[in-house]
Structure 1
């Protein structure tokens, strides 16, 4: 943002911007402190900081990505190809069975 852009902002907008900048500065300072602490700990233990950094980056990459599908927990005895994980909205065949007095445990896949 250019200085001339700041001139067009109202006092309340400038104050909100200032609060955002102060918050961002605090976060950056905290991050720098944590990095310095990690570097010092690595040095004290004879571990190259680069290996710690690559380990941290590797663990972040491993946690991102596509979630795996949950295994089915329930099945339809009338049509075993119909299954349900137990998460989200109940399938129609479960709803109908429950409305007719069945117990959800009657449909659990033994495991």
Structure 2
């Protein structure tokens, strides 16, 4: 039968082994990372890419001076005049109306004639 002292010794040995394995994994990942970074730098140099090129996305950069555009209301509650753009969660007034058997199309705001 195993004694408490032997179990404690086994536990300590396993903890040391776990720490050594974790250290080996960290060293391996660091070495891999360094190799990948060097490969990326080489490819960037070959293709004339700079770090600034990597931050560009396919979308236009946001203009901080420009206010966000408003979305026109698409639905209106005739009793209260509350509106909803059709984006995001449905407002409570519309949910209640739908539960009472009405359709969402009944609340559509007609587009102005052009």
- Which category describes the TM-score, using the shorter chain as reference length? 0.5 to 0.7
The count of aligned residue pairs is: 74
Closer, same or farther in 2 for the Cα pair 1:95/1:16, shift >3 Å? Answer: same
Which has the larger share of strand? Answer: 1
Q: 1:14 aligns with which of 31, 38, 45?
A: 31
Superposed CA offset, 1:45-80 (max 9, x none): xxxxxxxxxxxxxxx5xx413532211100101111
Distance 2:97 2:38 in 1: 57
| Structure 2: gaps of 5 or more residues | 1-25, 50-59
Deviation at 1:92, TM superposition (A): 0.1
Deviation at 1:18, TM superposition (A): 2.3
Q: 1:64 aligns with which of 55, 62, 65?
A: 62
Deviation at 1:95, TM superposition (A): 0.3
TM-score, length-scaled by structure 1: 0.54
Deviation at 1:102, TM superposition (A): 0.7
Closer, same or farther in 2 for the Cα pair 1:11/1:75, shift >3 Å? Answer: same
Residue 104 of structure 2 aligns with which residue? 104
Distance 2:28 2:109 in 1: 63
The DSSP-based 3-state class of the residue aligned with 2:30 is helix
Distance 2:45 2:100 in 1: 59
The DSSP-based 3-state class of the residue aligned with 2:68 is coil
Which has the larger share of helix? Answer: 1
| Structure 1: gaps of 5 or more residues | 1-8, 34-59
Distance 2:31 2:107 in 1: 61
